[in-house]
Chain A
Amino acid sequence: MPPDLWQFLWGQMRRQLRVGMSKPGEVLNPLLFFVMVVTLFPIGLGPNPERLALLAPGILWVVALLSNLTVSGRLFAADFEDGSLEQLALASHPLALTALSQVVAHWLLSGVTLTLASPLFAVMLNLPVQAIPVLMASLLLGSFSLSLVGAIGAALTVGIRRGGLLLSLLIIPLYVPILVFGVSAVSEAANVGDPMRWLALLGAFAAGGIVLAPLAIAAGLRISLDS
């Protein structure tokens, strides 16, 4: 990678982080959303600790998915509206890489913070303590894949008014494998099984995603800019 490309991507990522952190609500609100939705489950399903422990991996992962859905919609929206995205598309640097750097910045603010906060939620749902490291590992890897998939949907719908619901419709089917792998990893860890193969699958999905998704994201962005 030529040095000025790397410098550009790095600068772009720092700018995204700067803008993202200038409004603390953008980072905190998804976390608060996560807490509140997780709270709904014991209320809805009953406080029985054994049952919660059994359902905890699924609940945590589904809520992580939903939380990613809510933030994905805004991934490119601000840049689209103020014209920055147009300029990025015209830059001599590949749009795919620029978009990837934005996804990474976004993931640092959403997925990584969620991973760091997850032990708290695990305790709320009575997940066995030995499963927490695997939970964090699965969320770290999985949230990256979720961000990539969310970005594809965001790129295709950024120009559509009130495209948030459409976004959900488009990417929920694509989320399914990540959900399966993530929940299986945590379940296995909770029941003293073998979580490694599921974590490996999450890793493989993320690895494939990091190569292929940016192409789809860039194509989607160009289509949205064109219309």
Chain B
Amino acid sequence: MADILLGARDVAIERGYRCLLKGLSLDVERGQLVQLAGANGVGKTSLLRALAGLGRFGVTGHIARPQALLYLGHLPSTKPTLTPVENLRWHPSGRVAEDDQAIVAALAAVSLTGYEETPIHHLSAGQQRRVALARLWLSTEPLWLLDEPFTAIDVLGAALLEARLVEHADQGGAVVFTSHQPNRFGDRLQVLDLTQYAA
């Protein structure tokens, strides 16, 4: 039974009085992987943010989103003076991770075992990015909105991420992400080219 997690009807996105996209409609069901594609500047990030609920002012149209969703943007949302464990213990959406074991397991999944107590600013950029991605292993939200998750991680990280996204979709979740890169998921992936909606 198709269960629609995210629905958008006739959405138009504006930035600074300039219309970027219009007439966009989209349904994301459980188990789907959707990639938003298009040239630089077409409005991928703006649309993703609008779907998440961030851009309220420049958005018209109807968007139905679930109560709980996970949005990962370009910024890591980690505090540099705290350790990965301390950072992951607290999720801004309000849910506080109950036990540290899950956090340690998540860090292990992104190959950061041994770095649990190292302050973030002592980690390399790639490692910091992986800490941010570790949230995906702790997430209980069904809908994930990821902005360019495959950028700035190495090959190993990308493989881990791919596997995790597929796993999430198999478990009944859904992922919408933006990417410049070509299809990694084969038939599984639905690509939405935003150029058709450009104003």
Contacts and interface: CB of A to CB of B under 8 A. Distances in A.
| A and B form one complex | yes
B56 A222 contact: yes
B53 A90 contact: yes
Contact of A82 (B53, B55, B58, B76): B76
Interface in A4-28: 4-5, 7-8, 11, 15, 18-19, 22-23
Nearest to A14: B90
B92 A91 contact: yes
B68 A19 contact: no
A89 interface: yes
A4 B96 CA distance: 10
Given A84-B79, A86-B77, A92 B55 contact: no
A5 B55 CA distance: 24
B79 A93 contact: no
A93 B92 CA distance: 10
Contact of B73 (A15, A83, A223): A83
| A-side interface size class | 20 to 34
Contacts of A88: 92
Contacts of A5: 94
Contacts of B94: 4-5, 8, 91-93
Contacts of A194: none
B81 A22 contact: yes
Contact of B54 (A4, A7, A81, A225): A225
Given A15-B90, A19-B81, A89 B75 contact: no
Given A86-B73, A86-B77, A92-B67, A226 B57 contact: yes
B79 A81 contact: no
Nearest to B59: A226
A87 B77 contact: yes
Interface string B80-97: 111000000011111010
Nearest to A223: B57
B52 A90 contact: yes
Nearest to B68: A92
B177 interface: no
A19 B80 CA distance: 9
Nearest to A81: B75
B71 interface: yes
Contacts of B73: 83, 86
Contact of B55 (A15, A78, A226): A226
A225 B58 CA distance: 12
Contacts of B178: none
Contact of B75 (A4, A22, A82): A82
Contacts of B77: 82-84, 86-87
B71 A87 contact: yes
B78 interface: yes
A63 to B, nearest CB: 29
Nearest to B145: A90
Nearest to B56: A222
Contacts of A82: 75-80
B134 to A, nearest CB: 14
A226 B56 contact: yes
Given A88-B92, A92-B94, A226-B57, A19 B79 contact: yes
Interface of A: 4-5, 7-8, 11, 15, 18-19, 22-23, 78, 81-84, 86-93, 222-223, 225-227
8 contacts: A8-B96, A11-B90, A82-B78, A84-B79, A87-B71, A90-B93, A222-B56, A226-B55
Closest 10 CB pairs of A and B: A83-B75, A87-B92, A83-B77, A8-B94, A91-B93, A22-B81, A84-B77, A88-B92, A87-B77, A226-B55
